[in-house]
Amino acid sequence: MPENPLKPFLDALKEGKTLSCYTSDDSSGYINQYYARIQYNLTSEKVHIETKDVMDGGYPDIEITLNQYDMDWLSFETWFESWANKTDQIKIIP
């Protein structure tokens, strides 16, 4: 069975590193950029996710925090697999 391509990112989280995910969408005529910052809390064993939407409408960018939530590891893995398929870039931040 081939290795999960997301495994290095999942491993990095469990090592205490942060993930930064980025995607953009211009279907509305404006460029909307979506960011997610993901951290794993080793003590509580919860994954903390913060998502932001940065709208570029010709004015100074407007940054809106969309959601902040914590989820258990199994729920996170399912969420991350579906979210990662729509993401343009995932980076590991030491």
CA quadruple 13, 6, 74, 80: dihedral positive or negative? positive
Burial 28-56 (b: 16+ CB within 10 A, else e): eeeeebbbbebbbeeeeebbbbebeeeee
* Helix (H) / strand (E) containing 71: strand 62-72
Mean pLDDT throughout 11-32?
Answer: 83
31-49 tens-digit pLDDT: 677 888 899 998 898 999 8
What span, in angstroms and rounded, lies between the C-alpha atoms of 70 and 67?
A: 10
Q: Specify the range with the lowest mean pLDDT, choosing from 16-20, 61-65, 75-79.
A: 61-65
What pLDDT is stored for residue 55 in this prediction?
67
For residue 8, pLDDT beyond 90: yes
For residue 1, pLDDT beyond 80: no
